[in-house]
Chains A and B, each alone.
Chain A
Amino acid sequence: DSGVTQTPKHLITATGQRVTLRCSPRSGDLSVYWYQQSLDQGLQFLIQYYNGEERAKGNILERFSAQQFPDLHSELNLSSLELGDSALYFCASSVMESYGYTFGSGTRLTVV
């Protein structure tokens, strides 16, 4: 157990729907990062939060949004889902922005 908790582990939904992925960082970690990993693809950075504030944005679609709450857990909202959104979504956390990440186990999203 890495200490980073992601729920749910698996999610199957239909095109056009909206889902919310949840991440609880390791105790003491203030930074949360979201990455998308498609089949046979690398890790694509989506967005980062630090202590409740958005700090960096990657190639995140306008249909996707995220936030970090006062208790430091984060949610990634994916709407108007398309087949191409099927992927593994990882959350990672770090105590400071200059340190390495600890990844959660991911949420496997399947859009049908």
Chain B
Amino acid sequence: GENVEQHPSTLSVQEGDSAVIKCTYSDSASNYFPWYKQELGKRPQLIIDIRSNVGEKKDQRIAVTLNKTAKHFSLHITETQPEDSAVYFCAARRGSARQLTFGSGTQLTVLP
């Protein structure tokens, strides 16, 4: 089955700096890559997603890039703010699979 590795497990940045979280996937047939943000004690929320026919997608301060050849994708957050502090999960899904396989999560802390 699909395996998704996520790095780093923890990340601290100063407010206003950029943060980058990287994920690699094992199955070259994977074609859908969402990112979720989970605040403490709350549900994971979809913040951005990308499909395999697109190399990059942006939404205000958030962007995701996909490198199909290397089988990795990254989340970029610019101009970080304290409210960006949360656990971020990447995920991947093969076209033939029905469920998402999640990475192990990154605890992002934005220091004021």
Contact A56/B46 with A42-B102, A98-B32 known, Cβ cut-off 8 Å: no
Number of A residues, CB within 8 Å of B: 23
Q: How far is the CB of B87 from chain A (nearest CB, A)?
A: 9
What's the count of A-B pairs with C-beta under 8 Å?
50
Interface of B toward A, CB cutoff 8 Å: 32, 34, 36, 42-46, 49, 89, 93, 95, 97-105
Instruction: Tell me the complex Cα distance, A58–B98, Å.
Output: 11
Please report which residues of chain A, range 14-71, place their CB below 8 angstroms from some CB of chain B when the two chains form the complex.
31, 33, 35, 41-43, 45, 48, 50, 55-56, 58
Q: Which residues of chain A are within 8 angstroms of B105 by Cβ–Cβ distance?
A: 42
Tell me if A100 and B43 are in contact (CB < 8 A): no
Alpha-carbon separation in the docked complex, A2 to B105 (Å): 21
Please name all residues of chain A whose beta carbon is closer than 8 Å to the beta carbon of B93 when the two chains form the complex: 98
How long is the Cα–Cα vector from A98 to B51 in the complex, in angstroms? 10
- Cβ 8 A contact of B98, one of A50, A100, A102: A50
Name the contact of A56 in the complex, choosing from B36, B43, B97 (C-beta under 8 A).
B97
Please list the 4 inter-chain residue pairs (A to B) with the smallest Cβ-Cβ separation, ordered nearest first: A103-B43, A43-B102, A56-B98, A42-B104
Residue from B42, B49, B102 in contact with A100 in the complex, judged by beta carbons closer than 8 Å:
B49
Tell me if B89 and A56 are in contact (CB < 8 A): no
Question: When the two chains form the complex, which single residue of B46, B98, B103 contacts A31, counting CB atoms closer than 8 Å?
Answer: B98
What's the Cα separation between A42 and B44 when bound, in Å?
A: 11
- Per the bound structure, the CA–CA distance linking A100 and B36 in Å amounts to 10
* Nearest-Cβ distance from residue B6 to partner chain A, whole angstroms: 8
Cα A100 to Cα B89 in complex, Å, equals 13
* Known A90-B43, A102-B46; contact A55-B103, beta-carbon cutoff 8 A: no
